[in-house]
DNA sequence: CCATTGACATACCAACGGTATGCGAACTAG
DNA sequence: CTAGTTCGCATACCGTTGGTATGTCAATGG
């Protein structure tokens, strides 16, 4: 990519728009940020913005995709550093908890995301990013008999929601032990998944 | 309340505004509904709306409070129908799951709520309504030694988030067994709370 | 019966997201 | 090298929106 003067300038303008849009959305929320403010921060005009994106929601969609990708990469990275399926699962959960607590991602990913794009599209995007790793990890745990045979979709949603809300709370909490306590509670929940498997440990 | 002609008219106007606002917010989402549409549906003008509420967010806040109160009442009602602390807890969770799945409450309470008012205020309002019952139920379970001694706040957030996300998913899901599967998975999670208590069963 | 207040209606405004058009520099065909 | 085309924006403009300032008239209370 970026062959020629024009293409390079184009990529840079788009990147600047994304960067400033993300910064402002994360800091003040989607509704409180006007397009005028974004293009002013980026040093361009609304013409440039509407040349790269179809509108304000589309810019937000691009920002959200970027944020989700970062989180997904960190989760996948943490998981791939382990071999045992159970370790991969728990390490991914733990990494998600810390990655989603980042205030630069929090608001865009967990608060404005569902409201701006609608819950359905937000869920679909989340599923395509980090949510996919969670479902796959659970599926493998079921397949290898580590946890009992059961539908993974409800489980994935329950765990995803739990971690999302926990991350939201942790970001604004003041207690220094809150992260440790939350992880302890979540860890007990996860452990219960395999502990409560009296029967079939065979694939 | 409602003594005198003027006071009665006032209450009725406010109630109509709340009813139509809630209907439209629930159906199309906060951002997609204009004040003009609301006051037209209510048969009044913007002057009336701004006489009763300080603005669009304030009207939404009133609608959210109403929705949260309904859910909290159903949760408390289901819990009060039992005696055993554990039964009260699980019955409340189950009732919340179905009450929050109602499409008339869903969007206002779980999607637009945090985005419009900010997560902090939303959490505070939720805590004052149904969230309080959850925290109290958990506290009692800890106090009576049914579940192990641990900080209840992280646990409450994890469970609250799990149920919120599950309700969101259930509202748009098509599978007839999804509700049963979700409750089964959540039920296992809850059971694990008391099962994973090897030591202190004394207060 | 009159002054006051409360519950609105009316008229208006700035700001917003979005669109239509203009324009010059970068590419491309000959 | 050059003419023509396209691309990447800038400029100017528009309808709608949330919000405000002011007017109005009936209910209230003394």
What is the average per-residue pLDDT within B81-90? 96
Q: How far is CA A62 from CA A11, A31, A114, A129, B90, in A?
A: 14, 16, 14, 13, 41
Structure-token pair, residue B104: 């008339």
User: What are the pLDDT digits (tens) for B86-109?
Assistant: 999 999 999 999 999 999 999 999
Is residue A17 within 8 Å of A49, Cβ to Cβ? yes
What is the average per-residue pLDDT within B131-156? 95
The pLDDT of residue B34 is above 50 = yes
The share of chain B scoring above pLDDT 70, in percent, equals: 95
What is the average per-residue pLDDT within B1-21? 90
The pLDDT of residue A203 is above 70 = no
State the residue for tokens 């799945």: B101
Structure-token pair, residue B115: 């985005």
Averaged confidence pLDDT in chain B = 94
Q: Which residues of chain B neighbour A64 with C-beta distances below 8 Å?
A: none
Of the residues B29, B109, B131, B157, the best mutation for testing chain A's interface (the one with the most A CB atoms within 10 Å of its CB) is B157
Tell me which protein residue sits closest to nucleotide C18, measuring alpha carbon to C1': A55
Domains and CATH numbers, chain B: 1-53 (1.10.10), 56-195 (1.10.357.10)
Q: Which residues of chain A neighbour B123 with C-beta distances below 8 Å?
A: 168-169
Which pLDDT does position A202 carry in this prediction?
39
CA distance B15 to chain A (A): 26
d(CA A89, CA B41): 51
Contact A30 B159 (CB under 8 A): no
Tell me which protein residue sits closest to nucleotide D7, measuring alpha carbon to C1': A6
Which pLDDT does position B23 carry in this prediction?
98
Which pLDDT does position B198 carry in this prediction?
52
d(CA B116, CA B118): 6
Of B115, B155, B161, the CB nearest to A161: B161
Contact A162 B166 (CB under 8 A): no
d(CA B195, CA A140): 25
Which pLDDT does position A201 carry in this prediction?
41
A133 Cβ contact list (under 8 Å, min separation 6) = A72, A75, A76, A79, A92
Of B151, B165, B172, the CB nearest to A181: B151
Q: Which residues of chain A neighbour B154 with C-beta distances below 8 Å?
A: 166, 169, 178, 181-182, 184-186
The pLDDT of residue B202 is above 80 = no
Please tell me which residue of chain B has the smallest CA distance to A154.
B182
Strand D contacts (Cβ < 7 A) comprise A 6-7, 9-10, 13-14, 39, 43-48, 51-52; B 4-7, 33-36, 46-47, 50, 55-57
Is residue A67 within 8 Å of A129, Cβ to Cβ? no
What is the average per-residue pLDDT within B140-146? 95
Which pLDDT does position A196 carry in this prediction?
64
Q: In the structure, what pLDDT confidence band is assigned to residue A174 with cuts at 50, 70 and 90?
A: confident
> Which of residues B116 and B1 earns the better pLDDT score?
B116
The share of chain A scoring above pLDDT 90, in percent, equals: 89
The pLDDT of residue B197 is above 90 = no
Of the residues A110, A158, A160, A171, the best mutation for testing chain B's interface (the one with the most B CB atoms within 10 Å of its CB) is A158
d(CA B176, CA A105): 35
The pLDDT of residue A168 is above 60 = yes
Of B165, B169, B192, the CB nearest to A164: B165
- Through-space separation of residue A107 CA and nucleotide C21 C1' in angstroms: 37
User: What are the pLDDT digits (tens) for A126-155?
Assistant: 999 999 999 999 999 999 999 999 999 999
Q: In the structure, what pLDDT confidence band is assigned to residue A195 with cuts at 50, 70 and 90?
A: confident
Which pLDDT does position B200 carry in this prediction?
42
Structure-token pair, residue A27: 């800091």
The pLDDT of residue A65 is above 50 = yes
Question: Of A32, A80, A39, A82, nearest to A59 (Cα)?
Answer: A39
The pLDDT of residue A106 is above 90 = yes
The share of chain B scoring above pLDDT 90, in percent, equals: 89
Strand C contacts (Cβ < 7 A) comprise A 4-7, 33-37, 46-47, 50, 55-57; B 6-7, 9-10, 13-14, 39, 44-48, 51-52
């Amino acid at each position: 990519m970026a062959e020629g003067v024009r293409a390079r300038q184009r990529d840079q303008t788009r990147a600047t728009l994304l960067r400033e849009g993300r910064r402002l959305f994360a800091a003040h929320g989607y509704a409180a940020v006007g397009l005028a403010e974004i293009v002013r921060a980026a040093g361009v005009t609304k013409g440039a913005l509407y040349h790269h994106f179809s509108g304000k929601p589309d810019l937000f969609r691009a920002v959200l995709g970027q944020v989700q990708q970062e989180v997904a990469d960190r989760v996948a990275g943490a998981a791939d550093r382990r071999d045992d399926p159970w370790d991969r699962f728990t390490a991914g959960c733990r990494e998600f908890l810390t990655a989603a607590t980042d205030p630069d991602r929090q608001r865009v990913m967990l608060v404005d995301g569902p409201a701006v794009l609608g819950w359905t599209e937000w869920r679909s995007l989340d599923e395509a990013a980090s949510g996919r790793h969670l479902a796959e990890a659970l599926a493998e745990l079921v397949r290898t008999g580590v946890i009992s045979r059961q539908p993974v979709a409800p489980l994935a949603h329950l765990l995803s929601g739990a971690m999302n809300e926990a991350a939201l709370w942790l970001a604004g909490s003041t207690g220094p032990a809150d992260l440790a306590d939350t992880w302890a509670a979540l860890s007990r929940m996860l452990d219960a998944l395999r502990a409560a498997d009296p029967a079939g440990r065979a694939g």
